[in-house]
Structure 1
Amino acid sequence: MSRELVWTGFMSLDGVVDSPGGVEEGHRGGGWVFSTEFLPEAFALKEEELAETTALMFGRRSYEAFAPIWVGSEDHAAYKDLPKYVVSTSLDEHALIDGWGPSEILRSVEDIAALKQGDGGAIFVHGSAELARALADANLVDRYNLLVFPVLLGAGKRLFSTMDRDRQQLRLRESENYPNGVVKAVYDVVH
């Protein structure tokens, strides 16, 4: 049995995952999550994931954005001692954040496939749009945990590839909609 690889994150209705938290992340429409009325129940999925997460995976840019903040964040304290995997061909070992649990750099999709075949539970990928597309193209994603926000952004990094590829069937595991327009959609990838 292989480990489950789950992509989780916020997405606009038109598929953009870029800069949900602020314009400083590089997208002129950044901060779009915070422009939607906050309802705790719409974010309950994030709390549910904490109990299921046994390891975290990031692309280099997402790691460099999240790690310095999450290492000292009370909201992310449960992640502190979990193994972290950073997928990068260019990141140096010395760039990994100290005091944030065991961290390892994976250099290829083959390294990720080998990790999935090892022992352990679910590996959650946060952000990391480029990595998510590469993982999906390699048929390594097992589930998508999406919180879809009622906003259209036009430009920005997309979760899903636009390249011509074989169809990938998804099975809806769970869904819910909230009064603020956010929709939770959890899909299993049919392998």
Structure 2
Amino acid sequence: MSRELVWTGFMSLDGVVDSPGGVEEGHRGGGWVLSTEFLPEAFALKGEELEETTALMFGRRSYEAFAPVWIGSEDHTAYKDLPKYVVSTGLEEHSLVDGWGPTEILRSVEDVAALKQGDGGAIFVHGSAELARALAEADLIDRYNLLVFPVLLGAGKGLFSTADTDRQHLHLRESEAYPNGVLKVVYDVVH
């Protein structure tokens, strides 16, 4: 039995995952999560994930954006001592954030496949749209935990490939709609 690999994140209704927290993240429409009325119940999925997460995985850019912030974030204290994996061909060991628990650099999708075959629980991939597409193309993602926001951004990084790929079936595990327009959808990938 292999470890479950879960992509989790925020998405606009038109599929953009780019810059949910602010324009400094690179997208001119950044900060779109913060422009939606905050309802704690709409973010309950994030708390549920904390209980299930046994390791974190990032692409290089997402790691460089999250690590310096999450290391001191009260909301992410539970992540501090968890194993972390950064998938990057160029990141060097000396660039890793000190004091944020064990972190290993994986150099390829094949390294991720090997990690999945090891012992342990669920590995959650945060952000990292380019990595998520590569992992999906290699049939390594097992579940998508999505919070879909009621906004159309028109452009930006998408989670899913726009290339001509084979059909991929998903099974709806859970869904819920909230009064602020946010939708929670949790899909299992049918392998």
The alignment's TM-score, normalised by the length of structure 1, stands at 1.00
For residues 119-152 of structure 1, the C-alpha deviation after alignment (integer angstroms, 9 at most, x for no partner) is 0000000000000000000000000000000000
Distance 2:175 2:20 in 1: 21
Structure 2 counterparts to residues 172-187 of structure 1, below 5 A = 172-187=172-187
User: 1:179 aligns to what SS in structure 2?
Assistant: coil
Match of 1:102 in 2: 102
Supply the distance in 1 between the matched residues of 2:73 and 2:26 (Cα, whole angstroms). Answer: 22
Q: Secondary structure at the match of 1:19?
A: coil
Q: How does 1:19-58 map to 2 (within 5 A)?
A: 19-58=19-58
Give the match's secondary structure for 2:146: strand
> How far is 1:72 from its partner?
1.0
RMSD: 0.3
The Cα of 1:107 is off from its aligned counterpart by 0.2
CA distance in 2, matches of 1:31, 1:149: 11
Question: Aligned partners of 1:165 and 1:73: how far apart in 2?
Answer: 39
Q: Supply the AA of the counterpart residue of 1:158.
A: G
Q: What amino acid is aligned across from residue 154 of structure 1 in structure 2?
A: G
**Which amino acid in 1 is paired with 2:77?**
A
- Counterpart AA for 2:146: L
- The equivalent residue for 1:16 is 16
Q: Which runs of 4+ in 1 moved over 4 A?
A: none
Alignment gaps of 5+ in structure 1: none
Report the Cα distance in structure 2 between the residues aligned to 1:100 and 1:164, rounded to whole angstroms: 39
> Is it true that 1:150 corresponds to 2:150 in the alignment?
yes
- Following superposition, the deviation at residue 38 of structure 1 comes to 0.3
Count of residue pairs the alignment pairs up:
191
**Secondary structure of 1:43's partner?**
helix
Quote the residue 2:67 is aligned against: 67
**Residue type of the alignment partner of 2:127:** G
Query: Structure 2: which 5+ runs fail to align?
Result: none
Q: Which whole-Å CA distance do the structure 2 matches of 1:10 and 1:69 have between them?
A: 17
Q: 2:124 maps to what in 1?
A: 124
User: Which residue type is aligned with residue 144 of structure 2?
Assistant: Y
1:92 maps to which residue?
Answer: 92
Alignment partners' CA distance in 2, 1:21 and 1:97:
21
Q: Whole-Å Cα distance in 2 between the matches of residues 186 and 9 of structure 1?
A: 11
Distance 2:89 2:81 in 1: 24
Q: Secondary structure at the residue paired with 1:173?
A: strand
One-letter amino acid of the structure 1 residue matched with residue 49 of structure 2 = E
